[in-house]
Amino acid sequence: MSAVSAAASAHAARFPARRLGVLVSGRGSNLQALIDAIASGHLEASIALVISNVAGAGGLDRARSAGIETAVVDHRGWPSRDDYDRALGDELRSRDVELVCLAGFMRRIGAPLIQAFPGAIVNIHPSLLPSFPGLHAQRQALAHGVKVSGVTVHLVTADLDDGPIILQRTVPVLDGDTEESLAARILVEEHQAYPEAVQRVLDGGWTVDGRRFVTL
Ligand code: GRF
C-alpha cells in the first residue's frame, strides 16, 4: 500500500460506524435533509443523537418523528462555556457519535468540543465563506450588493465560520430579492449540499493541507 492510500484508509477508518450527532437550535430543515438522505440511501450513515440547546426547537420534533434519540442540553446554567461544551461532548461520546453535524446550532463551539472531536465537526453556513460569516448571512449579502451567494459546508475550528471548506454551491442574487427570498433559494442548495458533504467526509480519502480540504 502506498503512503497516500495508507493515509486515505486511515481517514476512512476514523468513521467506521458512520454514526452522526446533529446539533440544532431551530426548525431543523437541514437535519431533515440528512434524515431524508439517509432514508433514501443517498447518505450512508445513521443519526445516533440529536441535541438542541432549545427545548422547543422544531428540529427535536423532526428527530422524534424519525425515531431518533434526542437530548436537550440548555446552554444556560453552566458555570462556563467550556463546561457546556464538555457536557455536549459527553452526550455525543456516550452515544458513540463519530461525526458531529451542526445544523443551525446557534452557539459558538469551543475548544473542549473541538478537542473531543478533532477534525470531526462540520457546519453549514448560508453564504460563500469567507464572505458574510456570523448571523444574518443573507442580509449581509444583500446589503453588500453581491450578485452571487450560496452555501458553504466546512470543518469547524475554534474561529467562527472559518474552517477548511468541504463544499460550496452558488445561487444568483436577483434584483428583487428580499432576505427571505434569497434565504429560500440558498436553502434549496443547502439541503442538497449538506448530505453530499457529510458523505464526502465519512468516505475518507481526504486531508487538510493548510486551509484546504483536499482529496488524497
Ligand atoms: C441554515 O440556513 C444554516 O445554513 C444556518 O442556519 C440555518 C438553519 O436552518 N447555519 P434549519 O434549522 O436547518 O432549517
- The verdict on the CB of residue 166 being under 6 Å from ligand 1 is no
The whole-chain average pLDDT of the chain stands at 94
pLDDT in tens, 123-147: 999 999 999 999 999 999 999 999 9
Running DSSP on this structure, what letter comes out for residue 37?
H
pLDDT in tens, 21-50: 999 999 999 999 999 999 999 999 999 999
Enter the C-alpha cell of residue 83.
Answer: 463546561
Q: How deeply is 175 buried, as exposed, middle or buried, from its count of CB atoms within 10 A (0-12, 13-18, 19+)?
A: exposed
Name the CA dihedral angle for 173, 179, 184, 188, rounded to a multiple of 10 degrees: 50
pLDDT in tens, 77-104: 899 999 999 999 999 999 999 999 999 9
Residue 1 has pLDDT above 90, yes or no: no
Q: How deeply is 6 buried, as exposed, middle or buried, from its count of CB atoms within 10 A (0-12, 13-18, 19+)?
A: exposed
Q: How many domains does the chain have?
A: 1
Name the CA dihedral angle for 204, 68, 121, 9, rounded to a multiple of 10 degrees: -20
Residue 4 has pLDDT above 70, yes or no: no
- The verdict on the CB of residue 27 being under 6 Å from ligand 1 is yes
Using DSSP bridges, classify how beta strands 206-209 and 165-172 pair: parallel, antiparallel or unpaired: unpaired
- Give the atom of ligand 1 at the shortest distance from the alpha carbon of 125: 4
CA 125 to centroid of ligand 1, rounded, Å? 7
* CATH number (domain holding residue 122): 3.40.50.170
Global confidence as pTM: 0.94
- The verdict on the CB of residue 150 being under 6 Å from ligand 1 is no
Longest distance between any two alpha carbons in the chain, whole Å: 56
Q: Print the domain residue range for 74.
A: 3-215
